[in-house]
Amino acid sequence: MSAPLRGRRALVTGGSRGIGAAIARRLAREGADVALTYVSHPDEAEKVAATAREAGVRSVAIQADSADARAVAAAVERTARELGGLDVLVNNAGTAAMAPIESFRLEDFDRILAINVRAVFVAVQAAIPHMRSGGRIINIGSCNAERMPHPGGAAYAMSKSALQGLVKGLSRDLGPRGITINNVQPGPVDTDLNPARGEFAEMLKGFLAVPRYAAADEIAAMVAYLAGPETGFVTGASLTIDGGFTA
């Protein structure tokens, strides 16, 4: 594989497993130095960082709960300090809670907004002073911003829809600086938190034009493309990779 990201410095939040781990590994294979954050399971995070280092790049795992705004900002600062700057920010950390509106807990609502929306804003705000022209910001949204096909997902869908407005607005702030910002909106992805087996998975497959779950590496490929040198004219966009879930 070529190294279009050689010399670039990246931070992937929530990078210890699933989609985030796949993104961190892909960016490393394409030549970027990579920092990743995790909440728990330091062994898993360090394993991802070690795999990145095997690709010949620098990599560091940073403990930071995205529900904690100070921890998010501190992770950005540490990344810039240890890697010598920051060129690519991937806001991947996210959470979900599903329940009928009558029983949805306010604490779950607040946590969804804190991690899925506030942490993204905080990370972007902290990253901008370190980014030069050519910087890339990529948020991992969800196809549920476009379609929520079952009850109980209103708060989650709202949080991902908020990212659409955020990138449209921030594209105006950041475009004159040569920095792009976009969302990647996956459909169902086979991870340990959402395995491609079981009753829930079979229900979701029924909504897809391509009747299977995505592999995390497929999402990582789109992120790597947006992080690369050929996408300087793509900004303010929400790019869906969902197997036809929203078709």
**Contact (Cβ atoms closer than 8 angstroms) between residue 163 and residue 119:** no
DSSP string, 144-187: GGT---STT-HHHHHHHHHHHHHHHHHHHHHGGGT-EEEEEEE-
Q: Around Cβ 218, how many Cβ atoms within 10 Å?
A: 16
Residue 3 makes CB contacts below 8 A (sequence gap 6+) with 30, 31
41: helix, coil or strand? coil
**Contact (Cβ atoms closer than 8 angstroms) between residue 71 and residue 65:** yes
Q: How far apart are CA 113 and CA 3, in angstroms?
A: 36
Token digits of residue 44:
């898993």
Does residue 225 carry a catalytic annotation?
Answer: no
Token digits of residue 199:
């009753």
Give, for 10, the enclosing helix (H) or strand (E).
strand 9-12
Q: How far apart are CA 21 and CA 136, in angstroms?
A: 18
Q: How far apart are CA 92 and CA 73, in angstroms?
A: 15
Active-site residue, selected from the candidate residues 38, 156, 213, 225: 156
Q: How far apart are CA 144 and CA 210, in angstroms?
A: 17
Catalytic positions: 156
